[in-house]
Structure 1
Amino acid sequence: MSNQFEVVVDIDRPIEDVFDYLADGRHDPEFSPRVLRMEKSPDGDTHVGTVFHSTVKDAGMRSQRDFEISELTAPTRLRWHEVSHNSITAKEGGYDLEPTADGGTRLRLFNVLEGHGVGKLLLPLAAGASRKDAPAFGRRIKEAVEAST
């Protein structure tokens, strides 16, 4: 069974707006209820090497997670990987964006999860829960981006 989840959603906003919103990971708490706090280092525009420091709550437990931007091609592609050490991490994740004929944006989000230590045993449950939530996660992103100014 795959340890990846993904979702594709159409957003009624131009590709540049969607990219700019998502490239600033500080927006993540607006669409991801598990993200309690998100900070960016260094300040300024997001670029390769930018790290987003988050506090998340999974299965009732808080953890610190750090994600480094590994690729950024505005306005179509963004990649990250988790640099923190947790039992389950995002080995790779990303956004792929493409314009739609009506001036909107088709967004594909994915994350490849990896287990470490006891996380190897928990990985199938975590991946399954992530895949199950993927459609709702996509809707939350769509709603948050469309509501942004």
Structure 2
Amino acid sequence: MSTQFEVVVDIDRPIENVFAYLADGRHDPEFSPRVLRIDKSPDGDTRVGTVFHSTVKDAGMRSRRDFEISELSAPHRIRWHEVSHNSVTAGEGGYDLEPTADGGTRVRLFNVLEGHGLGKALLPLAGSAARKDAPAFARRIKTAVEASA
């Protein structure tokens, strides 16, 4: 059982800059208030196999989330999947980037959420909340990336 959300946003920065920013998941707390802490292993450049270990707060509860980079095709595509075991996980997620005519970048973000055990009952609520927040999430990404330059 799964559900998906996605959102598209235009960012006023060159595609290479946007890709570099988004590929470093340690920036996630700058646009995702649910991320309380995030670390990366191994150190160094992000590559396939890099894992971002985060502590997040969802619905008032803290949980550990570990996301592994499964594809990295600079500067157009980033894919991840959650390797932690929670009730609701992101089985697949990613960014698709394309340059815009004015020198900016169009970013499509998506996550495929999966329910496990009790999470199967929570999945419709989690998916609805993610879809509802998606436009604001896109605006927060835009603001964070543009401020980072």
Q: TM-score, normalised by structure 1?
A: 0.99
The match for 2:60 is: 60
Listed one character per residue, the Cα deviations across residues 119-144 of structure 1 (whole Å, up to 9, x for unaligned) are: 00000000000000000000000000
Match of 1:78, as an amino acid? Answer: I
The match for 2:31 is: 31
The match for 1:134 is: 134
Structure 1 outlier segments of 4+, above 6 Å: none
Report deviation, 1:2.
6.7
Listed one character per residue, the Cα deviations across residues 48-100 of structure 1 (whole Å, up to 9, x for unaligned) are: 00000000000000000000000000000000000000000000000000000
Question: Distance between the aligned counterparts of 1:72 and 1:148, measured in 2?
Answer: 21
Where in structure 2 are there 5+ consecutive unaligned residues? Answer: none
Percent of pairs with identical residues: 86
Question: Distance between the aligned counterparts of 1:138 and 1:6, measured in 2?
Answer: 10
Cα RMSD of the aligned pairs, angstroms, is 1.0
The match for 1:114 is: 114
2:84 is the alignment partner of 1:80: no
1:46 match: secondary structure: coil
1:146 match: secondary structure: helix
Match of 2:69, as an amino acid? Answer: I
2:143 match: secondary structure: helix
Q: What is the aligned residue count?
A: 149
The match for 1:69 is: 69
Question: Distance between the aligned counterparts of 2:115 and 2:3, measured in 1?
Answer: 9
Question: Distance between the aligned counterparts of 2:4 and 2:23, measured in 1?
Answer: 21
Question: Distance between the aligned counterparts of 1:39 and 1:2, measured in 2?
Answer: 27
The match for 2:13 is: 13
The match for 1:123 is: 123
2:52 match: secondary structure: strand
Question: Distance between the aligned counterparts of 1:6 and 1:146, measured in 2?
Answer: 20
Listed one character per residue, the Cα deviations across residues 3-61 of structure 1 (whole Å, up to 9, x for unaligned) are: 10000000000000000000000000000000000100000000000000000000000
Tell me if structure 1 keeps the 8 A contact 2:97–2:108: yes
The match for 1:145 is: 145
Where in structure 1 are there 5+ consecutive unaligned residues? Answer: none
1:75 match: secondary structure: coil
Question: Distance between the aligned counterparts of 2:147 and 2:3, measured in 1?
Answer: 31
Question: Distance between the aligned counterparts of 1:125 and 1:51, measured in 2?
Answer: 27
2:141 match: secondary structure: helix
